[in-house]
Structure 1
Amino acid sequence: MPQMRYAIVTETYPPEVNGVALTVQGLEHGLRARGHEVGLVRPRQSTDTVAQTHELLVRGAPLPRYPGLRFGLPATRRLVAAWRQAMPDAIYVATEGPLGWSALRAARQLGIPAATGFHTRFDEYMRDYGAAFLQQMALRWMRRFHNRGAATLVPTRELAQFLQAQGFDNVVRLPRAVDTLLFDPARRDRSLRAAWDAGDDDLVVIHVGRIAPEKNLDLAVRAFRELQKTQPRARFVWVGDGPSREKLAAQNPDFVFCGLQRGAAVARHFASGDLFVFPSHSETFGNVTLEAMASGLPTVAFDYGAAREYLRDDVHGAAIADGDDAGFVQACMRLANAPATRRSMGIAARQAVAALRPEQVAADFDDLLMQLADARRIHAPAAT
């Protein structure tokens, strides 16, 4: 296998905690583990003192309504200069912000093939933040961005079909994986549950993710209050942060808020729950669904994204028709009162994702970038 030089451009990256940041980091590490040289372009974060040798840090600005996150400012000239000195064989642009647009412009100037990643349904976010009239405009903006690349990578068949119907070109499915060594039922922790005031036989409902309007969290609260009528000692544990946390905590003082958790800590929180609820309507994928399943948790989610791809209704939890809020509540109540069913579903859920290896995702990603690089070489004008 030839050694390649790749560049990844992203506006979010750990220690920022979100699905895009962690997915991009996994792809970067996967390529490097396969022996390739990988450059990373991202905005400078408050924790940065000096860039690592493989990093190009650019100027950024705070992202409104997303505390702790930044977007990259335009940097076309800087990228052109850097890539002229060390020309990548192919680049991957993970985000559609100003930095992402700059990367596509620089790649076009230099003749570098670029793949883009479709990670966020910004068109759906318009609705969730009270600007539904902007949905079609957002979709047109994203189509224009992604069609400037040679391929648009998506995690599910469902999303690929949707984007193709909306005029997106060269849509390619790149499946996701989950680290089953990290997310493991064996990490269940009685002392952590005790800190939540939950005994061995008490039901712990858990939500992991951004606490924000686009996550449809009112439905999760409604479902919990209904199941609490038959499970009065049930606890609702929230892992994550976001603009809705303060209001949610004030309205529900009995809820347990654990804040952002990373690595082994978040895996321990997953494994220490009993039922994972994920009421979001606007996920592009939903990595937390796979993480919950790998942790042995029966999951209630709407039937799209990761749930459509991997969660089988009445086998691994409940996959509810998107928009059926009443069905979501009923499923939560049903599983809350069926501990034996939850245990068998948790075992089946773990087995269902056991074969989703990050190494295979890295290999598929590598193959795709290599194909783009080979196509460029074939169509490049001959030297004179």
Structure 2
Amino acid sequence: MKTATATAAEADDILVDDLPAPRHSRRLAVVTETYPPEVNGVAMSMARVIDGLNRRNHDVQLIRPRQPSRLTPPSSGRPAVDEVLTKGLAVPLYPNLRMGVPSKRSLVKLWSLRRPDVVHIATEGPLGWSALQAAQHLALPVTSDYRTNFHAYGRHYRLGLLAKPIMGYLRKFHNRCDATMVPTEAMRVQLVERGFERLSVVGRGVDAQRFDPTRRSEAMRMAWGAGADDLVLGYVGRLAPEKNLGVVLAAFEAVKALQPRARLVFVGDGPMRAELAARAPDAVFAGQRSGDDLAAHYAGLDLFLFPSLTETFGNVTTEAMASGCAVVAFDSAAAGELIRSGVNGWLAGAGQEADFIAATRAAALDPSARRAVAEAARTTARRLDWSDITARFEAVLEGAIARAEPVIGLRGLQPVV
């Protein structure tokens, strides 16, 4: 070791190997009922955040339901985390998605043996509720995400009478947490009006290197039946009632009346696929895509149509923008937060279907405006860096840890019920 009086010349001889290894900053337990290779916004964004937390030298313990073996990728494709797999059940109508089962006793035992600094819960299902109970039993600080508008799905699945009880459960769940992260300021205001407390806005990032206009493939477009100058409209996401896909069909029909060679592409899968195929027999159904293949599908589109009104954010919006697609959407979620209508996309008032269709027609008829909007959308998306999002996420965790009271007494030894 060098002394405090070492000369500058002597200091040059100090080797990096003599310095202490970087320590892990925090021990984090992250609980989620969906994770890659499942394909949805929650799964993909949680994987990004966990990767970012790893890069910031945190120890991450990931608790999630065990997925079917046909979905499990090689371990080399995952972030280096300590995975704890629980029992899982298929989600109705979505057999490729899993939900956890009540696991409070197991989680209390797990966290008693290896106590985390904070527990973060990404989903509010049975596993998430068990994690909340276990964390509070052990007096651990808890943060959560509000990521899915379950209560808004009721009208699409004939569950209208359950909307209020579901909202009541969600409010109870999140208000028992030390902090809840929401993706947009508009969502924060909406939830405050509904009685939610301790909300922090933490947005979503996008991989602007993967989702890039240079991935456009004329060969792929030809396979869709589109020539170099033909307009291709598309949608990416679940093919499900809550996505409001009838508006996509109506907008496409309006465009096709003006441009008969226009093509429509659906990327994704879900319970509405057969119905959509019957209503739009000439549409291309590309199925579920991921990684660079998904990026190429985005880049092949000229107009991205996203009519959903049930999103908390909508990662597909930013992925389309990063891919150089001109986006038409309702003034809601990520689109409402990021798009200036006529500048880097087109917005219609929430639920104003006639305006959505009119915006789509206007975009279809003006190639120069479409190109300018697409370039501006790409510029906007490039500012949404995941490292910034991870830093905001980390700050909320640190705040919850700092506010937590010291654990005194034998609370952690109480019987598990």
TM-score, normalisation: structure 2 = 0.89
Residue in structure 1 matched with residue 41 of structure 2 by the alignment: 19
Structure 1 stretch displaced more, 362-371 or 149-158? 362-371
Match of 1:327 among 344, 355, 361: 355
Task: Choose which of 296, 299, 306 in structure 2 pairs with 1:278.
Answer: 306
Check if 1:118 corresponds to 2:140.
no
The secondary structure found in structure 1 opposite 2:173 is: helix
Determine which of 161, 172, 190 is the counterpart of 2:200. 172
Structure 1 window deviating more from structure 2 (92-101 vs 126-135): it is 126-135
SS at match of 2:257: coil
Q: Would you say the 8 A contact 2:304–2:320 is kept in 1?
A: yes
2:67 corresponds in structure 1 to 45
* TM-fit CA distance, 1:50: 10
Deviation digits for residues 230-250 of structure 1 (CA, Å, limit 9, x no counterpart): 110011001000000112112
Alignment pair present for 1:29 and 2:57? no
Equivalent residue number for residue 300 of structure 1 = 328
Distance 1:104 1:291, change over 3 A: same
State the alpha-carbon separation in 1 of the partners of residues 257 and 310 from structure 2.
29
Give the conservation status (yes or no) of the 8 Å contact 1:67–1:242: no
Residues 193 and 272, structure 1, Cα contact 8 Å, conserved in 2: yes
Q: Deviation at 1:279?
A: 0.7
Match runs of 1:206-285 below 5 Å: 206-285=234-313
Query: Residue type of the partner of 1:143?
Result: R
Within-5 A mapping of 1:1-384: 3-47=25-69, 48=72, 54-376=82-404, 379-381=406-408
The answer as to whether partners of 1:107 and 1:114 remain within 8 angstroms in 2 is yes
The alpha-carbon deviation at position 379 of structure 1 amounts to 4.1
* Equivalent position amino acid for 1:46 in 2: P
SS across alignment from 1:95: coil
Instruction: Label 1:49 to 1:295 Cα distance change in 2 as closer, same or farther (>3 A).
Output: closer
Rg larger in 1 or in 2?
A: 2
State the shift of 1:67 in Å: 2.4
| Alignment deviations for residues 60-81 of structure 1 (CA, whole Å, 9 cap, x no partner) | 1111111211100011111111
- SS across alignment from 1:241: coil
How far is 1:134 from its partner?
2.1
Question: How far did residue 375 of structure 1 move?
Answer: 2.1
Is the 1:156–1:305 Cα contact (8 Å) retained in structure 2? yes
What SS is found at the alignment partner of 1:229? helix
SS, match of residue 285 in structure 1: coil
Q: Distance in 2 between matches of 1:156 and 1:379?
A: 32
Q: Whole-Å Cα distance in 2 between the matches of residues 279 and 371 of structure 1?
A: 36
Secondary structure in 1 matching 2:311: coil
- Structure 1 residues 164 and 267: alpha-carbon distance in aligned structure 2, compared to 1, 3 A threshold: same
d(CA) in 2 for partners of 1:162 and 1:191?
45
Does the residue aligned with 2:95 lie in a helix, a strand or coil? coil
5+ long unaligned stretches in structure 1? none
Unaligned runs of 5+ in 2: 1-22, 411-417
Contact 2:59 2:81 in 1 (8 A): no
One-letter code aligned to 1:352? T
> Secondary structure at the residue paired with 1:277?
strand
- CA contact under 8 A between 2:184 and 2:201: conserved in structure 1? yes
Instruction: Tell me if the contact between 2:328 and 2:347 (Cα under 8 Å) persists in the aligned partners.
Output: yes
Give the whole-Å Cα distance in 1 for the aligned partners of 2:406 and 2:197: 19
Cα distance in 1 for partners of 2:24, 2:105 equals 30
Contact 2:24/2:59 (8 A) holds in 1: no
Deviation at 1:201, TM superposition (A): 0.3
CA distance in 2 between counterparts of 1:219 and 1:250 reads 15
In the TM superposition, what whole-angstrom CA distance separates every residue of 1:290-333 from its partner, at most 9, and x where no partner exists?
A: 11111111100010110111011011121111010000011111
CA deviations on 1:236-292 (whole Å, 9 max, x unpaired) are 001000000112112321000011100111111001110000011111111111111
What is the percent sequence identity of the aligned residues?
45
The Cα of 1:107 is off from its aligned counterpart by: 0.3
Letter of the structure 2 residue corresponding to residue 268 of structure 1: A
Task: Give the residue type in structure 1 aligned to 2:140.
Answer: I
Aligned counterpart, 2:9:
none
| SS across alignment from 1:41 | strand
**How far, CA to CA, are the matches of 2:251 and 2:279 in structure 1?**
15
Over aligned residue pairs, what C-alpha RMSD do you find? Answer: 1.7
CA distance in 1, matches of 2:73, 2:149: 33
Give 3-state SS (helix, strand or coil) of 1:31's partner: helix
CA separation of 1:220/1:50 partners in 2, compared to 1, >3 Å: closer, same or farther? closer
Letter in 1 for 2:182: V
**2 CA distance for matches of 1:227 and 1:204?**
10
CA–CA separation in structure 2 for the residues paired with 1:194 and 1:97: 43
TM-score (norm 1): 0.96
CA–CA distance in 2 between the matches of 1:354 and 1:125?
A: 31
Task: Tell me the matched-pair count.
Answer: 382
Partner Cα separation in structure 1 for residue 101 and residue 323 of structure 2: 38
Secondary structure, aligned partner of 2:258: coil
Whether the aligned pair in 1 keeps the contact of 2:62 and 2:81 (CA below 8 Å) is no
